[in-house]
Amino acid sequence: MIPRPSFPRPHRDDVLIAVAGLAGGLLQWRLDLFTLFGSRSPDVLSLIPLAVMCCAGLLRRIAQPWALWLATTALVADVVAGSLLATVLMFTDVVYAAALYGPPRTARRVLPVSVLATIALTLTALFTAPLHEAVAIGVTVALISTFPASTGVVVRNHRDQAAAERLRAEQTALLAEMDRVQAVTAERARMARELHDVVANHLSAIAIHATAAQSLDDPAASRKALAVIRENSVQGLAEMRRLIGLLRDADGDEEPSAAPRLDGLDALLEHARAHGAAGGLVFVLRDERSGGPLPAPVELAAYRIVQEALTNALKHAAPGEVTVALAAPGDGPLTVRVTSPHAERSGPRAPGSGAGLIGMRERVELLGGSFSAGPVAESDGRTVWEVRAVLPVDEGSVKRSAERSPEGSGERPGENTRGRSAT
């Protein structure tokens, strides 16, 4: 079945205007009232332009500029037949509607055409009628054409400006909401990294020693493991309380402590040796940096990457040598490389969730660097697990990192440089 085409219906207000104009025109015709345009008293023929003008009024919103052309034709016929005031008033409304509701092209032309028509009719009247009549005709034509056209243009401009402002406000609100969501997401990721660095490291050490104590039937080893578990649990609890206090402290009254730097790697490796000696792990630091001091965000990211890689080695690496290598030739990027033996590990292992690798990758991406982690083959034929990060040290990368993350200028207050294992 072919659907019937749908035609726009006249607006309710337009119907009321047309009905009121028709009733007013009939009353004027009955009372034999006419305007100064008429060349004679209105007769029954003047009702035809009135009816046509009412039809143009019905179409004033939905059929511009055809409604304006129809109204202009009806006005000319009305002047010839004996002009009714209602017909002239409805013509002014159609001109106003053409400027307000018509297509942009029509709205731009209504006012200039009205002005030209007013000038042309006024000049014509000056040559064909006395001066006072010519002035009256010019003022009247301006009132029924130029004035409603200019009013419609002003109202249309205000509506367009209001619509543009509403659209701009909606876009601003949408952008603000997007910024808020991004800020919340970035803050959640940052808090996840900080909780991981501050607390989860101690929990990993607790898990490692608790697993070892369960698997060994040695009272002395169990007592030693319990001592380590107690030490890490106390430290983790203290740091957790400090972090919660900082999150609750909206005024920031607490003094921030220094962010971890690469100078603290010796203490970090010493801490790892204390926990990894029983598992046959040997930790070696090779610092081959030759450039000047590094930006604080770069040192913080490098420290956290080494910290996480060492803890992963404590949890998963087979007995052997764990090497931490730093290289920064001149003003080039800082390369952090941590390798550990990659083989099946005998005995119990602490569980891992992969959150550490995600945190390392996020830190490197914030600085615009590159990150990789996985097994690689060494030149001597051994297979090692390699964590490799290349961190740019130029000011542009550090500045972009500071803009993308609150961590860009350093660690959140409450972090310290005490060596501890990562997860």
Q: Give mean pLDDT in consecutive 10-residue pieces for the chain, a chain of 423 residues.
A: 64 89 87 63 77 91 90 88 85 92 90 91 86 85 90 93 93 90 82 70 71 71 76 76 68 53 86 78 88 82 88 83 88 89 65 72 88 87 89 71 51 37 37
Residues 184 and 229 in one domain: yes
Is the Cβ–Cβ distance between 314 and 208 less than 8 Å?
Answer: yes
Residues 162, 165, 167, 169: is their CA dihedral positive or negative? negative
Question: Looking at 223-305, which runs of residues are DSSP E strands?
Answer: 281-289
State how far the Cα of 133 lies from the Cα of 121, in Å rounded to an integer.
12
Residues 108 and 199 in one domain: no
Q: What is the pLDDT of residue 414?
A: 36
Give the residue numbers spanning the domain of 94: 12-170
State how far the Cα of 48 lies from the Cα of 60, in Å rounded to an integer.
18
Domain assignment present for residue 97? The answer is: yes
Q: What is the pLDDT of residue 163?
A: 92
Domain assignment present for residue 119? The answer is: yes
Is the Cβ–Cβ distance between 314 and 274 less than 8 Å?
Answer: no
- 289: β partners: 328
Domain assignment present for residue 316? The answer is: yes
Q: What is the pLDDT of residue 82?
A: 76
Count of domains forming the chain = 2
Residues 100 and 131 in one domain: yes
Q: Which residues contact 150 (CB under 8 A, 6 or more apart)?
A: 99, 111, 114
Burial class (CB in 10 A: 0-12, 13-18, 19+), 37: buried
Is the Cβ–Cβ distance between 64 and 21 less than 8 Å?
Answer: no
| Total count of residues recorded for the chain | 423
What DSSP assignment string belongs to 344-355?
PPPS------SH
Domain assignment present for residue 423? The answer is: no
Q: Assign 136 to helix, strand or coil.
A: helix
Tell which of 137, 170, 203 closes a domain.
170
As given in the structure block, the two tokens for residue 81 are 């037949």
Is the Cβ–Cβ distance between 389 and 335 less than 8 Å?
Answer: yes
Tell which of 170, 189, 206 closes a domain.
170
State how far the Cα of 59 lies from the Cα of 103, in Å rounded to an integer.
14
Residues 91 and 189 in one domain: no
**pTM across the whole model:** 0.51
Residues 225 and 127 in one domain: no
- Residue type at 279? G
Domain assignment present for residue 143? The answer is: yes
Q: What is the pLDDT of residue 201?
A: 67
Residues 82 and 140 in one domain: yes
Q: What is the 3-state secondary structure (H, E, C) of 5-70?
A: CCCCCCCHHHHHHHHHHHHHHHHHHHHCCCCCCCCCCCCHHHHHHHHHHHHHHHCCCCCCCHHHHH
Residues 128 and 245 in one domain: no
Domain assignment present for residue 2? The answer is: no
Is the Cβ–Cβ distance between 47 and 26 less than 8 Å?
Answer: yes
From the CB of residue 124, how many other CB atoms can be counted at a distance below 10 Å?
Answer: 13
Residues 303 and 219 in one domain: yes
Residues 343 and 374 in one domain: yes
Q: Which of 353, 346, 337 has the alpha carbon at shortest distance from 317?
A: 346
Residues 155 and 210 in one domain: no
Q: 251-273: buried (b, 16+ CB within 10 Å) or exposed (e) per residue? A: eeeeeeeebbbbebbeebbebbe
Residues 36 and 76 in one domain: yes
Q: Assign residue 280 the CATH number of its domain.
A: 3.30.565.10
Tell which of 150, 170, 190 closes a domain.
170
Q: Assign 423 to helix, strand or coil.
A: coil
Residues 206 and 271 in one domain: yes
